[in-house]
Structure 1
Amino acid sequence: MNIKLLAMELKDLDLVLAIEQASHAFPWTRGHFQDALSAGYWSYVLWELDEAHHPQKMLGYLVLMTVLDELHLLNITIDPNYRRRGLAQKSLQMIDDVARQENISTVFLEVRESNLPARALYEQIGFEALAVRKDYYPAEDGREHAVVMKKNLALGN
């Protein structure tokens, strides 16, 4: 599968929201994504490319915020129909490459304590659990804890 991360644009939001709503019990709203774009957050859409290398199918997206030499992953979502194909891992590797070029040394994220597949993926690609944020996420029965994870990026000279 030929894939590419492209900058998210306002015109992408209908497709982004369809994936977001199909993926999360408590999805981000259009306003969340618009605010991220307005704030200049790193916002990317993962596209499957056709033979002519034109975007054909939106597979997922990422939203990240930079703070000094740190990058904070706010949202990564892969279309439910395309999960378990390594797309999240490939997307995060591409983000690591961009971050290194920007001299960003650390990536942080929060993940639901109950999201064991995501936690396993993050650990597999070098994230380490740092702490637990109590009652961080909304949940059907109240609130759910988040595991804070960190990855150090090796920067070249």
Structure 2
Amino acid sequence: MSEATIFPTVDPAHLAAVHAEAFETPWDAAALAELLAAPGVLAVVEDDGFILVRVVLDEAEILTLAVRPAARRAGLGGRLVEAAVVRAAALGAERMFLEVAEGNAAARALYARCGFVEMGRRRGYYSHADGRREDALTLVLNFPR
């Protein structure tokens, strides 16, 4: 297993390949490179997964968390979230937000284990390839002081 790396030593093509394995509607290398170039965005990357987070003042937001299917259920997602929380807190964030598809039980369980709690809902936020819409749950983690 590789050590996690923090942006800027990130290859958008590698992230796009991982994202394509992890999501029905993946982000391409150009979109990921654009995000990585945006102010306040950081990445924590391992060979089989990564997390992108944006930090603005005292708030952080998980933009995406992707883990290759073959590497799931081995703790990688939790390690990535934990590393992102530590880095975001070091940059001044006091809480972290994210949206997760209501039907994504595995991701919801991961975030619950990491201490995130539901604070809202975005109706029809996600659209699927088959045309169906799915609600997003907005979750928050308040960092310990």
TM-score, normalised with respect to structure 1: 0.83
Aligned-partner SS, 1:148: strand
Is 1:33 the equivalent of 2:32?
A: yes
Q: Which has the higher strand share?
A: 1
Q: 1:60 aligns with which of 34, 49, 56?
A: 49
Q: 1:93 aligns with which of 77, 82, 86?
A: 82
Partner of 1:43: 43
Secondary structure, counterpart of 2:48 in structure 1: strand
Equivalent-residue separation in structure 1 for 2:110 and 2:24 (angstroms) = 21
Corresponding residue for 2:107? 118
Runs ≥4 residues deviating over 3 A: none
Aligned partner letter, 1:25: E
Once the two structures are superposed, the pairs formed by residues 1-157 of structure 1 within 5 Å of their partners are 1=1, 3-9=3-9, 12-40=11-39, 41-46=41-46, 58-139=47-128, 140-155=130-145
Percent identical: 28
TM-score, scaled relative to structure 2: 0.90
* Alpha-carbon distance between aligned partners in 2 of 1:105 and 1:95, rounded to the nearest angstrom: 12
Alignment size in residue pairs: 143
Q: CA RMSD in A?
A: 1.6
Gaps in structure 1 of 5+ consecutive residues: 47-57
Structure 2 gap segments, 5+ residues each: none
